Amino acid sequence: MNKRCEGGALTRKARPAFSTSQPLVTVVTIVLNGGNYLEKTIQSVIGQSYNNIEYIIIDGGSTDDTVDIVRKYDDRIDYWLSEPDKGIYDAMNKGTELASGEWINFMNAGDRFYDNNVVNTVFSQECGRYDLIYGNHEVSYNERYSKLRKAGDEESMWKGMNFSHQSTFIRTSLVSGNGFNIENALGADFEMIFRLQKNGSNFSHLDKTIATIQAGGLTDTERLQSIRSHWKVVSAYGVSLKVTLYYLWKIADSVVRNTVKKTLPQGIIDRITNLK
């Protein structure tokens, strides 16, 4: 599909009456040929008990049944757009510029909120003094088994993305305009969040599981390149022996892991992963 098409409540001038007593949260889902897994993501968002959610879907011009699935939920989506783009972070930038919410979350196709009360739990606390709220996430391995990943603390962010963007809510004003660096194809989310931290934004670590994400994304399949991307981002703020040694160790560790994966049967790899 190379043509542009759009839908949702906004195209019908039927924007819902959002509450002024709760923060408006924009959830953006980006997708490309995600017909096999998009519906669970949509249901996760529209099923939230928190009533003040604006939902936006950005499709990169899918050629499967993705758009048909989006149309199925047209009356529950505030705005959706389908057109070719320049990749994941270009699509996320489009979603950001369309967002009306005070806060924004990126729950991309295949991922989902951990349960239907997650957003309500996050914004039931006093969040006025924070710029970014993040929590834990669960990693699902093809629905066969899952592992809980505890978010790291803010001070250790120089070690790489220690929480997922799916489990993060950011003030939209801090993302809009600056956005994601589309030239950093494997780590623009880390680059943007690390920049916010270095610029003094206030982070809140909520010890709750926010999202379930699918294993096998770009940072999994291109792990070595992802580590190098993170190293480059951190080094832009100053080079130190500690950082250099840490990332050299991460690269060596990744090479060893990749070698093991190529030599061991998949069943054994699954069992090792499940033990971690």
> Given this model, what pLDDT does residue 34 score?
95
- Residues 161-210: tens digit of each pLDDT: 999 999 999 999 999 888 899 999 989 999 999 999 999 999 999 999 99
Distance CA 88, CA 207 (A): 28
CATH number assigned to the domain comprising residue 77: 3.90.550.10
Q: What is the mean pLDDT of the chain?
A: 90
Distance CA 45, CA 78 (A): 12
> Given this model, what pLDDT does residue 248 score?
96
Q: What is the dihedral of CA 28, 31, 36, 38, to 10 degrees?
A: 10
Mean pLDDT, residues 92-107: 97
Does the pLDDT at position 276 exceed 80?
no
* Percent of the chain residues topping a pLDDT of 70: 91
CB contact at 8 A, 204 and 121: no
DSSP result, 162-174: -S-GGGEEEEHHH
Q: How many domains is the chain built from? A: 1
More confident: 78 or 15: 78
Give the domain range for residue 223. 5-275
β-partners of residue 22 are: none
Does the pLDDT at position 43 exceed 60?
yes
pLDDT band at 53 (very low <50, low <70, confident <90, very high): very high
Mean pLDDT, residues 35-61: 96
Q: Which residues contact 24 (CB under 8 A, 6 or more apart)?
A: 18, 52, 53, 54, 100, 101, 102, 103
Distance CA 94, CA 61 (A): 14
